[in-house]
Structure 1
Amino acid sequence: MTTDTPARLLTLLSLLQTPREWPGGELADRLGVSRRTVRRDIDRLRELGYPVQATKGSDGGYRLVAGKAMPPLVLDDEEAVAIAVGLRAGAGHAVEGIEEASVRALAKLEQVLPARLRHRVSTLQAATTPLASGDGASIAPETLTVMASTVAGRERLRFAYRAKDGTASRRLTEPYRLVSTGRRWYLVAYDLDRDDWRTFRVDRVSEPFATGARFAPRELPTGSAAEYLRRSMWGWQESYEFSVTFDAPAEFVAARLPGWLGAPEPLDGRTCRVRGTAGGPMEWMAVRLAMAGCDFTVESPEELVTSVRELGGRLSRAASV
């Protein structure tokens, strides 16, 4: 019998969060209390925002249904480990679609995991080898979670950084946002030593350390962290506007192209169009469009049309050898 009311409420909540209806008598037996106590506990959960639905009948039943907001979840050990392993695997390889919110969730979960469960998570991840796409660098999930925590908490972040030419340095920053391009993670932050905004490739970061010093957020020069990253990556290159139609539904294309290229616009349910601004070599853009895995037509610019035509010719010649 669970005599402690908070502990009993947590046990009741854990039972209700399984996808089934619980007869009142069964809940009473599980908790070792009367049906009247179960009803009172159900009322307490409702007061806390949990949408518990009751059904009429000889025994009556209860189930948790979708509400207007998501109240806190109660996870058992196996569930917590499964979620943490999944988030670490996805975040560590910058899988497209795993955005900053996922990393924040991982940071929150690992912060409250008991040491025994953190050990199980690390052991499981070390024993598995994901099949990565090969076009993005692997990242230690701990690096992402430390960064996400400092972004959310507006806490200064210190880390070691290796530049593209191999130069090593130590940085003290005010982290602003983590941005995923689908291939890599980047940190947009204010570099205190250089007194300016900077972007950092997360796979080149090591020894991240949350200093505990809070800061008031500064105003980013552009409207969003994603836009700032795009400009910092292509600022030295001439950017261009493009328009491409795909012979596939918008949902299909959206799952295969990086979000920063632009959201596909449905045309007739079977085709879609992507418009946006890009930079860098046209050849790279041609390859990235081909990776969508469906037929497409470049409407503009003409230089991109030429790059796609040349790429198609090279691939055709390679296949005929």
Structure 2
Amino acid sequence: MANTSERALRLLSLFGSGRLWPLRELAAGLEVSERTVRRDIETLRRLGYPINTVHGPDGGYRLGARHTLPPLVFDHDQALAVAVALQAAPSTVFGLRDDAARALVTLEQAMPAALREAMKSLRLTRLRNYWEFPGAPIDPAALTAVGAAARDRHVLVTETLRADGSRPGTGDDDFLPARRIEPHHLVVWAGRWYLVAYDLEDHQWRVLRVDRLRPRPTTHRFGPRELPCEDLAHFVMSSHDRGDTPAAWPCTGKARLNLPAGVVARWAPGGSVVEHLDAEHCRLTLGAWSWAGVAGILATFDTELTELHPPELAHACGRIADRLAVVADTGGGP
């Protein structure tokens, strides 16, 4: 009976996704026979859950339309996943850390005793990785406005703020007036929130930092539009003008690379900035804990480097070249 009850809960969690489940997938997921799955489905039906059968070669089982599961139907693995996710959530939204902690406590109180103890057994300490450079925290209201507009396909009117969060003046070189955009997708990468949007002012696709946007929702709807790239992750990572700014490091330098900006932008470390120069060249600004560290990162691109700045960076490149020349001459031996 205990095993039957546990399987029934796991079945409910699977049906909660709303998808159609072939019988063989349910049996494989529960690690039981197809006959046992049929019995468990009948058990759920007797308890009042409308599990519909879809016949045919592509058939299976799904939860009846307009029927919702009771709240907090978690199996053991789901409970652990929630505990880990809430504790490991990055603090990229104002108050997210405190809200996540409170949500974890609320969930634990609503869990059965066995699941509650399993969740409490996972207490994490999240250490900072110095190569992580999350964007500035985002106001939940702004994030909700952008997300809702993308979901409902409503045009947004946005202003772009400076990196420090201040509003540019009309005389500033970086002034960008309020623009109408079609928000299509939110993407989280390297601790930053990006919006893939179509700019209705200059009719081109853009990647925008959500923490730099001051959105104003409208009720004007827009239709589907062919995306600039089937792989949105590649589009975001290879966009050099996505609004990133140099991170604070003890040493920050720049160099001209004989590579396109899109290539360098995809592989440049977090906290760096790629500037498009022409179709075959770009300028990379980045930092590290030492000038040798900056030089070493530049060397990973395996291309010609020119216009190095400041002089300390050029000197570091020379010192590394001398050391590597010794290694090459000796074959790496003593």
Query: TM-score range, shorter-chain basis?
Result: 0.3 to 0.5
Query: TM-score, normalization: structure 2?
Result: 0.40
Query: TM-score, normalization: structure 1?
Result: 0.42
